[in-house]
Amino acid sequence: MIYNFAYFYIVLHQAIKMDIDVILDQIYALPLVSKNALKAHIEEVEHPKGHILMRENKPERDIYLLKKGIVRAYANYNGHEVTFWFGKEGQLVASMNNYVRNENSYEDIELLEDCVFYKLKNVTLQSLYETDIHIANWGRKLAEYSLVEAEQRLISRLIKTASERYKDLLNEESDLLARVKLSHIASYLGITQVSLSRIRAEVR
């Protein structure tokens, strides 16, 4: 039943897009004047499945909020791609090393579906932080949520078994199984695809 539900979800999902106001409000409720000031600098862009949005060791001048689609962040290690994050509708897609420290990205970000983004130049956002306290608070919340998510992924990787992490995906993000290749799921869980197949059989 889990897999049938995941398939049903993805069929419905094709029509779902996250409006910019919804995304901004779920991070921090801005006064209308501040929200309009922020939205004035946001551009909607589209890229096809397979596009590499960000490159390792490259400067990244923009941040993105994902309107529609799914992406993965990965790093190259000993000739292998290690997936450590999936981004879905409503989430921030950015190089945090560049956003926070103004240094080059340490990951590649690949589009796993055709995607629509809300794009904002980082330098513009930093300027808005200095002139509008509400936008600054919005940015603080954005960074805090990203930190919490990263901490949760790290703790899960350190203390839970691969089987437990897979069950967490089923319970919390079952749509990933319908939208993402199993090889990427296995990499995200830190196991081989053979081990993932065994775990899936046990869970059934």
User: For residue range 162-194, what is the model confidence (pLDDT) as tens digits?
Assistant: 999 999 999 998 888 889 999 999 999 999 999
Q: Given pLDDT bands bounded at 50, 70 and 90, which one contains residue 16?
A: low
Q: Is residue 96 scored above 60 in pLDDT?
A: yes
Q: Quick one: tokens of 27?
A: 């991070």
Task: Assign 99 a pLDDT band (cuts: 50, 70, 90).
Answer: confident
For range 63-81, the mean pLDDT: 93
Between residues 5 and 126, the one the model is more confident about: 126
Asked whether the predicted pLDDT for residue 101 surpasses 90, the reply is: no
In this model, does residue 1 exceed pLDDT 70?
no
Q: Report residue 73's pLDDT band, with 50, 70 and 90 as the boundaries.
A: very high
What are the residue ranges spanned by the domains of the chain? Answer: 2-203
Q: With bands split at pLDDT 50, 70 and 90, how would you rate the model's confidence at 15?
A: very low
Judge whether residue 2 has pLDDT over 70. Answer: no
Rounded to the nearest 5°, which phi and psi values hold at 67? -80, -45
* Tokens 């897999």, located at residue: 3
Under the banding of pLDDT at 50, 70 and 90, the label for residue 79 is confident
pTM: 0.86
Residues 140-149 have pLDDT tens digits of 999 999 999 9
User: E-strand spans in the chain?
Assistant: 43-47, 52-54, 62-68, 71-77, 80-87, 92-93, 108-111, 115-121
Structural contact between residues 93 and 53, judged by C-beta atoms closer than 8 angstroms: yes
Coil, helix or strand at residue 124: helix
CATH node for 2-203 = 2.60.120.10
